[in-house]
């Protein structure tokens, strides 16, 4: 493998944990560049143009936003088709959507408030906790996500546990006999819950055993990289060849556009529309520091507007 993948992340990020486990599972060597847990992110904002979520992956001058796309890149680099989310179907796909939709927020909503605050104070200190909460309240503004709270959050988690237990009755893994991206997508909200609650998962034995198997995959060969080296990789590389665009692009290729998530963290990235495929949007950004960068977004869950 000649391409080096850099993961911009922070250790407590559950979506990043999903990707770190992919590296461990596939023995893919990876470079880690730690980001702050809330913006501004000086190591990252100049590369993405302001995408405000974590994690982001970088291969040279190509920048990948959202784990749906990062997983595809890891699947490609490692030759592990089971890590490509577009390969998941049926009940495994349903469970994956459930886990990364309402259950992601319910995983936090079901932690007793005092416990949650204590976890944040331990991790960030008093001023950091204040900043973190303020940031996360603003994260939801303008988006479609409505996190469940109280009894509703508990119902969401119970329903996830029920569906997961059912899947694990039919096979060792969410998708059947083999581990796939579906396991990691269901795992990371539960990992978030466990990290915030600081107690073992209260779930059936089958779920607990599955949880331990996934947790024990580990992160593989991680090496830390400096911001300077990540920027150098962007500056000294050319973006890779663009895919052929599909005919149903909502905006003409070459137009000035803004791309933003629909659900939360609705901060637009501006650039020139370089390509649109069935599953991907690629925006070209020019800057004096890096030359041309291509920023990739999934098509599902993101909007493109002509500027
Ligand atoms: N759909 C996105 C969701 C990513 C996400 O929600 N990440 C969380 C951290 S795990 C986040 O960005 N929170 C706000 C922040 O870190 O600024 C993905 O799959 O990458």
**What is the tens place of the pLDDT at every residue in 87-104?**
999 999 999 999 999 999
Average pLDDT over residues 151-157: 97
| Average pLDDT score over residue span 230-247 | 97
Supply the mean pLDDT for the chain: 97
Residues 259 and 213: their CA atoms lie apart, in Å, by 37
Q: In the chain, where are the structural domains located? A: 6-82+221-306, 88-215
Question: 6-82+221-306 with 88-215: one CATH topology?
Answer: no
Model pTM score: 0.97
CATH fit for domain 88-215, picks 3.30.56.10, 1.20.1050.10, 3.20.20.140, 1.10.760.10: 1.20.1050.10
Per-residue model confidence (pLDDT) at position 1: 39
How many Cβ atoms from other residues are within 10 Å of residue 289's Cβ? 10
Please say whether the beta carbons of 31 and 7 come within 8 A: yes
48-74 in b/e form (b: 16+ CB < 10 A) is: bbbbbbbbbbbbbbbbbbbbbbbbbbb
Across 145-168, average pLDDT = 97
Atom 13 (ligand 1) nearest CA? 53
What residue spans of 27-89 are helical by DSSP H?
Answer: 45-48, 67-78
Class at the top of the CATH hierarchy for domain 6-82+221-306:
alpha beta
pLDDT at 3 over 90: no
Mutate to test the pocket of ligand 1, among 42, 54, 192 (most ligand atoms within 8 A of CB): 54
* Alpha carbon of 23 to ligand 1 centroid (Å): 18
CA of 171 to the centre of ligand 1 (A): 30
Q: Which of 64, 143, 265 to mutate to test the pocket of ligand 1 (most atoms within 8 A of CB)?
A: 265
Measure 299 CA to ligand 1 centroid, in angstroms: 16
Strand order in the sheet with 30-34: 222-224, 30-34, 6-9, 56-59, 62-65, 291-298, 280-287, 269-276, 256-261, 302-306
> What pLDDT is recorded for position 2?
59
Rg (CA), the chain: 19
- With b meaning 16 or more CB within 10 Å and e meaning fewer, what string describes 132-154? beeeeeebbeeeebeebeeeebe
Q: How many CA atoms lie within 13 A of 130 on its CB side?
A: 2
- Distance CA(260)–CA(12), nearest Å, equals 24
The minimum-distance atom of ligand 1 relative to the CA of 38 is 17
Output the CA angle 285-18-81, nearest 5 degrees. Answer: 80
List the structure tokens of 41: 């992110």
Give mean pLDDT, residues 81-89.
Answer: 97
Nearest to 224 by CA among 51, 76, 13, 7: 7
Q: Token match 């963290």: residue?
A: 265
Q: Is the pLDDT of residue 307 over 90?
A: no
Chain centroid offset of residue 197 CA: 21
Instruction: Answer yes or no: are the C-beta atoms of 288 and 234 closer than 8 Å.
Output: no
| DSSP string across 277-293 | -SSEEEEEEEETTTEEE
> By percentage, how much of the chain surpasses pLDDT 70?
99
pLDDT mean over 242-266:
96
CA 186 from chain centre, in angstroms, equals 13
Tell me 196's DSSP state. Answer: H
Q: How far apart are CA 113 and CA 169, in angstroms?
A: 33
Ligand 1: centre distance to CA 207 (Å):
25
4: Cα separation from own chain's centroid: 19
In the predicted structure, residue 144 carries a pLDDT above the cut 60: yes
Q: Backbone phi, then psi, for 216, in 5-degree steps?
A: -75, -5
């Amino acid at each position: 493998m000649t391409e080096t993948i850099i993961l911009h992340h922070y250790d407590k990020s559950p979506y990043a944990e999903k990707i770190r486990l992919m590296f461990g599972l596939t023995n893919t060597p990876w470079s880690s560049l730690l980001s702050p847990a809330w913006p501004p992110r000086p190591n990252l904002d100049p590369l993405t143009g302001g995408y405000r979520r974590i994690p982001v992956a970088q291969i040279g001058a190509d920048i990948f936003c959202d784990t749906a796309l990062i997983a595809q890149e890891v699947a490609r680099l490692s030759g592990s088709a089971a890590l490509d989310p577009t390969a998941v179907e049926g009940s495994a796909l349903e469970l994956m959507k459930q886990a990364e939709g309402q259950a992601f927020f319910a995983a936090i909503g079901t932690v007793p408030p005092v416990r949650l605050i204590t976890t944040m104070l331990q991790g960030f200190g008093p001023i950091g906790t204040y900043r973190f909460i303020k940031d996360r309240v603003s994260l939801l503004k303008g988006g479609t996500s409505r996190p469940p709270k109280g009894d509703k959050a508990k119902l969401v988690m119970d329903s996830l546990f029920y569906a997961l237990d059912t899947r694990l009755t039919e096979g060792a893994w969410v998708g059947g006999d083999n581990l796939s991206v579906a396991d990691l997508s269901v795992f990371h909200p539960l990992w978030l819950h466990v990290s915030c609650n600081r107690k073992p998962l209260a779930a059936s034995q089958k779920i607990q055993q599955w949880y331990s198997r996934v947790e024990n995959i580990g992160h593989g060969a991680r090496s830390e990289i400096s911001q300077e080296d990540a920027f150098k990789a962007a500056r000294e590389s050319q973006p890779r060849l663009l895919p052929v665009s599909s005919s149903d692009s909502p905006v003409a290729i070459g137009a000035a556009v803004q791309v933003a998530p629909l659900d939360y963290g609705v901060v637009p990235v501006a650039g020139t529309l370089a390509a649109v495929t069935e599953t991907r949007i690629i925006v070209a950004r020019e800057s004096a520091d890096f030359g041309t960068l291509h920023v990739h977004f999934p098509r599902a869950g993101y909007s493109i507007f002509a500027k």
